[in-house]
Structures are given as structure tokens and as C-alpha cells.
């Protein structure tokens, strides 16, 4: 049924964990070297997420 919560499949759980870890690492780095803009931060995170998901396939 539409709108009903469902569990994530095994691959999705792994992807979510990998991306979450990368975001934590990025936030730690950004405390020392903040991104130049919000747009740059978003681009960096999207690039990391793409890398993490591609690497785990």
C-alpha cells in the first residue's frame, strides 16, 4: 500500500551505512576546513555518496 513503511533491502542498508560514515568523516574535516559554500558542500557530499555506492557494487 502506498505510504506504508517498509524495510530497506540488504544492499540499501549497506549503502546507507557507507554514506552515513562518509558524511561523519566529511563533517569532521569541515570543522578544520569548511567548504567555501553550501553548494560546494552539497557537491562534495554527492560525489562521496556516488563513490561509496559505486564502490560497494
Q: How far apart are CA 1 and CA 48, in angstroms?
A: 33
Residue 11's pLDDT is 84
Give tens-digit pLDDT for 24-37: 999 999 999 999 99
pLDDT average, residue stretch 12-17: 87
Q: How far apart are CA 53 and CA 17, in angstroms?
A: 10
Q: For 21, what's the count of Cα atoms within 13 Å in the CB-facing half-sphere?
A: 9
Four-residue CA torsion sign, 21, 22, 23, 25: positive
Amino acid at each position: 500500500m502506498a505510504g506504508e513503511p517498509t524495510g530497506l533491502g540488504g544492499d540499501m542498508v549497506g549503502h546507507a551505512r557507507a554514506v552515513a560514515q562518509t558524511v561523519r568523516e566529511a563533517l569532521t574535516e569541515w570543522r578544520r576546513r569548511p567548504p567555501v559554500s553550501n553548494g560546494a558542500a552539497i557537491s562534495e557530499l554527492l560525489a562521496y555518496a556516488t563513490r561509496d555506492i559505486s564502490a560497494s557494487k
